[in-house]
A and B are shown apart, each in its own frame.
Chain A
Amino acid sequence: MRAIIRLVFLALIWPLLVVKAQGVDFDRWYPYAQASQYAQSYGRILMVYFWGEACPYCDQMNTYVLSDAAVSRTLERRFVVASVDSHSPEGRVLSSQMRAFGTPSLVFFVPQGGTWKEVGRLFGSRTRAQFLKELQQICAVVGGGVCG
């Protein structure tokens, strides 16, 4: 009896597991290497988010702006987010490479002929409405799809 229940349960969640394995969840963030790979293979705008543990403006972004429904929808549709701790060894290298000093910093790239083209950068926290507008502007400059 228990085995049958288990089988039925597996049958029910199987489609969910398949979807999870095939598609990438663009509502969450990834380490830089993984995010840049996703940006290339899925033709998305790479948003490199430099944050710092003790910076209250990053907390402000994490709690109110990056979790806002409209902002999340826009990011999920066209972007892939690389989450970078600016104080980690990798974060230090990346922030000097991308000249992103201070947190929160957001640098946007699109893959272009085997290299990356910068399409925008932002420094400092912002309100939900302003950030949404800026994302849409960057998206519109890149083109190739719906930016709403």
Chain B
Amino acid sequence: MDRRRFLKASAGAVAGAVLASQLTSGLAQSALEGEDLANLEKGLQATLKRGVRDLTASRDVRLVAPSIAESGANVPVEIEVNLPADQVKAIHCFCDKNANPLLFSTTLAGVLPYYATRVRVAETAPVRAVIETKDGRFLMASQSVRVTVGGCG
């Protein structure tokens, strides 16, 4: 009975945001919705001893996450790297607005450069896949996940 949810308060805004993101998707510099670079920096330093500056956005990193999540408690995330397996050391994942920005770290040694899991997103913010290569580079792909606010009837 409680499963019937209503008041998708953000439904209209979502449509607008999707349209806007389509219009600006060509612009690499456009800020992602819910971006919090200061908090992300905190997580990067704590985990990798690196900062936002040390990350390079890369098309070789494919991050699949929903643009809208009805519940931030269970957001599927899939990361695939278009590099030879022996060049990828680890896959890290962060979320800008989580109190603890690190979602997970995984080190790969013999599997393909791929990892899928389900994460918690505290509120609308970008999820970042950060690939650590064997030669010490940090490649990134970002995708903003909008967490619906609402209630149950």
Contact = CB atoms under 8 A, between A and B. Distances in A.
Contact of B71 (A56, A101, A103, A126): A56
B123 A128 contact: yes
Given A53-B2, A55-B151, A124 B73 contact: no
B122 A55 contact: no
Contacts of A55: 2, 5, 151-152
B2 A52 contact: yes
B124 to A, nearest CB: 8
B123 to A, nearest CB: 5
Interface string B65-107: 0000011110000000000000000000000000100000000
B-side interface mostly: loop
Interface of A is mostly: loop
A53 B3 CA distance: 10
A57 B73 contact: no
Given A56-B71, A60-B73, A125 B150 contact: yes
Contact of B151 (A68, A87, A125): A125
B71 A123 contact: no
A76 interface: no
B7 interface: yes
A67 to B, nearest CB: 9
A58 B5 CA distance: 12
Interface of B: 2-3, 5-7, 9, 70-73, 99, 120, 122-124, 147, 149-153
7 contacts: A54-B152, A56-B70, A60-B149, A105-B151, A124-B7, A126-B149, A127-B123
